Amino acid sequence: MIKLILLGLLSSAFFSATFILNRAMSLSGGHWVWSSSLRYVYMLLLLIILIGMNKGVAHLRDVIKIFIRHFKFWLLAGSIGFGMFYSFLCYAADHAPGWIIAGTWQITVIATPIVLLFFKEKVPRHGVYFSVLIFIGIFLIQFNKEGEFAVKYIVYGVIPVVIAAFAFPIGNQLLNFAKHGNHSLIPHIDSPILHDAPTCVLLMTIGSMPFWALLLLWVAPPPPLKNQLINTFIVAVSSGIIGTSIFYKARNSSKSPYVISGVDATQSGGIVFSLAGEILLLNGALPQVTGVVGIILIVVGIIGYSLKKS
C-alpha cells in the first residue's frame, strides 16, 4: 500500500504541471480547445512511437485488435475519462486562476468514493474519514488567497472542474473493472497487454480521439499559437504520458475500493506541488496560516491512507 501511495504522489507531481501551463496558455491568448485536444494528439503519436520501440510492432497490433474487439467500451471510457475530464479542466483554466483550478480539482478525493459507491463498491469507513480530512485541507488552501475568489470563478471555473473531477475517476474505474473483470455490466478484457500501464493510456487515448474531433468541429477555434504548441507538448509528456502511466500502474494494481480511493487521494498532493511551483517559478506568495494548516491536513490524510490497512 505504501508503495502505491508513493507512486500516486509521484504522479501528482507530474500532473501539477498541467495547472500552471494551462493557465499560462490561457493568459497568452491560446484557445482552451487546442490546449486540451493537442495534448492527446501528442500523446497518441508519442505513445505509438515509445511503445512500438519498447514492445515491438506485434504489441501494437495486439493493441489495435483489443481496441476493435471492444471499441464501444474504449470509446465510452476514453471519452469520459480523458475527453470530458480534460476539456472541462482546460475550459475552467480559461476562466479562473490556476490555484483555484488546482484546489477545486482535489474534490476528486471525495468524488472517487462516491463513484465507487455508485458502482456498488464498498469503501471502508476509515477510508471515507481520511478523504474528508484531505478535503478539509483542500478547502483551507482553496480559500487561502483572500479576495481572489469570486462568483464568476464558481460558475466558469469551479463547476467545470467539479464535472472533470467526477469524469476522471469514472473513466479510470471503467478501465479498472475491464482489467479485473469484477463488474457484470463492464466487459472483462482479459489480455496481458492491460498489465502494461502505458498501453492502457494508449487505449484510452485512442478511445478519446472521436471526442476531440467532434469538439474541434463544434467549437471551430482559431489556429493554435506557437507557444501553445510547445506548452501542450510539455503537458502531454509530463502529465499525459509520465504522470498518467505512473498513476495507472498504482491504481490498477488492485481492485480493492480502499486501495483505489487511497491512490486517488494522493492526487491532492497536486495542489501542494502547484503552490510550490508557483512560489519557486512564478514568484507567488507564501501560503497564509490557513493554507499551512490545509497542507498539514492533506499530508496527515495521505499518511493515514498509506498506514491503515483495508
- pLDDT of res. 182: 82
- Contact (CB, 8 A) for 310 and 127: yes
- Contact (CB, 8 A) for 261 and 116: yes
- pLDDT of res. 19: 67
Convert the pLDDT of each residue in 153-208 to its tens digit: 677 777 898 899 899 999 999 999 999 888 888 999 989 999 998 999 999 999 99
As a whole-number percent, the residues of the chain with pLDDT over 70 amount to 74
Please name which of 176, 189, 71, 74 lies closest in space to residue 115, comparing C-alpha atoms. Answer: 176
Helix ranges restricted to H, the chain: 2-27, 32-55, 57-69, 71-78, 85-93, 98-105, 108-118, 125-142, 151-153, 159-180, 197-219, 226-235, 244-251, 257-265, 269-281, 289-307
- pLDDT of res. 211: 98
Q: Give the contacts of 298 (CB within 8 A, at least 6 positions apart).
A: 134, 137, 138, 141, 268, 269, 271, 272
What would you measure as the largest C-alpha separation in the chain, in angstroms?
57
Q: What pTM was estimated for this model as a whole?
A: 0.81
- pLDDT of res. 287: 62
Which tops the pLDDT comparison, 18 or 88?
88
Convert the pLDDT of each residue in 285-307 to its tens digit: 566 677 677 767 777 776 676 56
Convert the pLDDT of each residue in 221-245 to its tens digit: 999 988 889 889 998 998 889 888 8
Name the pLDDT band for 77 (thresholds 50, 70, 90): very high
- pLDDT of res. 285: 57
Q: Give the contacts of 70 (CB within 8 A, at least 6 positions apart).
A: 178, 187, 189
- The pLDDT of residue 139 is above 80: no
Please name which of 9, 1, 8 lies closest in space to residue 248, comparing C-alpha atoms. Answer: 8
**Which DSSP state fits 96?**
S
Identity of the highest mean pLDDT range in 18-27, 74-83, 225-234: 74-83
Name the pLDDT band for 20 (thresholds 50, 70, 90): low
Question: What mean pLDDT do residues 25-48 have?
Answer: 88
Query: What is the CB-side half-sphere exposure of residue 124 using CA atoms within 13 A?
Result: 14
